[in-house]
Amino acid sequence: MSAISSVQSTPPLRGFWRWLSGHYQRCLAWFLAGPRCYARRPAGTGYRSPIVMSFWWALGWGTRIFSLPALCVIPVAALFTLHSSMIPEAQVRLLVLVLLGLFCCDLVLGIIFWPRLRIRRRLPERTCAGQPFQIVYTVENRSWLPAFRLQMDLSLGQRWFRCLSPATISSLPGRARQELQGHYIIARRGKYFLRQTSGTSDFPFGISRHSSCSLQHETLIVHPSWHPLQKLSLPSGRKLQKRGLDRILALNDFLDFQGCRDYREGDNPKHIHWPSSARRGDLVVKEYKDEVISRTALIVDTCVGQQPPPQRLTQRLRQMLARNQARSKVVLEGQLPELEAALSLAAAVAKFLLDDDCLIDLFAAGQEVRRLQAGRNVASLHALLDVLAEVEPETKPTLQELNAAILDEIADLGNAVVILLGYDQERQEFLQHLRRRQVAVKLLLLSENWGTPADAIILRPEDILDGKITTL
């Protein structure tokens, strides 16, 4: 038994190696997430460069301790100091002494008037990409000494956010409280995590900085920018029609209250109207009528970088170059005009259908299929835009993730709006699967390099993002 237990137990060296590997992976993930002074985005499955993240770490810590002008002057001052220490007769020695005196004076006065703050930050729950929004700060000085030249979240506008007007105050008396407003803009949609809020002072000479930080876990969802549609015509489904748009489904979950009547044998006891029954002395039930509503599937393609099949060697080389450029943009920028235009178009279509009192079943194809049903009492447009905000670009075909069960569910709806970023073999097979199930498809193709399918509407991503598409 002892021999068997010794064989089955894990060797100490292997257990230590597992612990060390797990600790290394956690430290690497923490490092690649970036400094807490910046807004963070979900890691996702894309590659994150340690070299790029090293730059953000260096910039974050450097701007927390020194101002940007000081960071530019410090290397030159270090060279002057080295030169004067090697050559005592150098005339630059006096300049070095003056710079050192200013630095020491700035450092001592900054420590004396170090801000000791209690900060409360209020973010909007949602905003839209490219539109300015406001952050409100409530700042309380916990010290008896005043705090000078304060700026809230100084590093927030250096990475994802762009600061339009910072939340600043020239002086805050001791034990005083002040409310400040800062205005920002975000060009990229997504979900952002803000873990830290800070108040920074560069008093007196703007060389060194002194901060008061506090942890505050907040989330900001940035919706894709979109422009409303004025007209949208959808293909007819298999059965009845509603205003020539799509098939009608009678759902018992949506009932219109019609009135009250006397109770009859077999009526649902849940529909008894007790106040009226008490007044009349007899049972009275509420009467409903079935409300006929319409449902449409909205399918969004997220695969970028696919090109038409090449015919010549030069075309193959161009295709490989285009694919590499698409992947590099995904790595460095994280967004592509084609994908942003597709999400913008999906938001516009959803808004039009919801205003027309329709139910929408959203399917965003990816490594994990994002699904949501919106309309009526199910979910609002904001919930649908929240799903679109978190869609990430994919470099491999994703429509195959919609399995047979999902396709059968789409077939029950009768029609679908399909937004594609290309028209390769995988996408054509997907459309064939829908048509075999007798699904009426409205195809919107956001590419001009694939030819013109007979039943597709060709759209340019630039026109969608500029708001030139108003009729479909």
Is 60 exceeded by the pLDDT of residue 323?
no
Residue type at 300?
V
* 200 touches 68 (CB < 8 A): no
Note whether 339 and 304 are within 8 A (CB): yes
Distance, CA of 166 to CA of 199 (rounded, Å):
11
pLDDT at residue number 329:
47
What pLDDT is stored for residue 159 in this prediction?
A: 77
- Comparing CA positions, the residue from 138, 227, 224, 228 lying closest to residue 186 is 224
Residues present in the chain in total: 472
Q: What is the pLDDT of residue 249?
A: 40
- Position 94 confidence tier, pLDDT thresholds 50, 70, 90: confident
Q: Which pLDDT belongs to residue 411? A: 83
| Calpha distance 77→295 (Å, rounded) | 69
- Model pLDDT, residue 332: 41
Model confidence at 389: pLDDT above 80: yes
Give the pTM. Answer: 0.74
What is the structure's pLDDT at 423? 83
Residue 316 has what pLDDT? 52
Q: Which two tokens stand for residue 437?
A: 């199930």
Residue 267 has pLDDT above 80, yes or no: no
Contact 196, 37 (CB under 8 A): yes
Label residue 333 by pLDDT band (50, 70, 90).
very low
Per-residue pLDDT, 55: 84
CB 48 within 8 A of CB 28: no
Query: What values do phi and psi take at 30, rounded to 5?
Result: -65, -40
Report, as an integer, the average pLDDT of 434-459: 80
Question: What are the structural domains of the chain?
Answer: 36-223 (2.60.40.10), 294-465 (3.40.50.410)
* Residues in Cβ contact with 39 at an 8 Å cutoff, skipping those fewer than 6 apart: 156, 159, 160, 161, 192, 193, 194, 220
Task: Flag whether pLDDT at 189 surpasses 80.
Answer: yes
User: Could you tell me what percent of the chain has a pLDDT over 90?
Assistant: 17
Give the rounded percent of residues in the chain with a pLDDT score beyond 70: 82
Residue 135 has pLDDT above 90, yes or no: yes
The band of 467, judged by pLDDT with boundaries at 50, 70 and 90, is confident
Q: Identity (one letter) of the amino acid at 426?
A: E
pLDDT tier at 244, thresholds 50, 70, 90:
very low
Lowest mean pLDDT among 38-47, 101-110, 280-289: 38-47
Q: What pLDDT, on a 0 to 100 scale, did the predictor assign at position 4? A: 46
Higher pLDDT: 73 or 376? It is: 73
| β pairing state of 358-364 and 284-300 | parallel
CB 309 within 8 A of CB 451: no
What pLDDT is stored for residue 180 in this prediction?
94
Quick: pLDDT tens for 271-308: 788 888 888 888 888 776 555 567 888 988 888 755 55
Q: What is the CA angle 467-41-398, rounded to 5?
A: 65
- How much is the pLDDT for 240? 40
pLDDT in the model for residue 217:
85
Contact in structure between 284 and 276 (CB atoms under 8 Å): yes
Which is higher by pLDDT, 237 or 53? 53
Supply the pLDDT for residue 287.
74
CA angle centred on 139, ends 135 and 145, rounded to 5° = 150
Q: Which is more confidently placed, 49 or 349? A: 349
Structure confidence at residue 144 as a pLDDT band (50, 70, 90): very high
Helix 404-413 to helix 425-436 angle, to the nearest 10 degrees?
50
Query: What mean pLDDT do residues 59-86 have?
Result: 81
Query: By mean pLDDT, which of 253-267, 356-370, 445-459 is the weakest?
Result: 253-267
- What span, in angstroms and rounded, lies between the C-alpha atoms of 431 and 441? 8
State the pLDDT confidence band at 117, using cuts at 50, 70 and 90.
very high
Q: What is the pLDDT of residues 45-64, one digit of tens each?
A: 566 778 888 888 888 888 88
Q: What is the mean pLDDT of the chain?
A: 79
Please give the average per-residue pLDDT across 216-230, as a whole number.
90
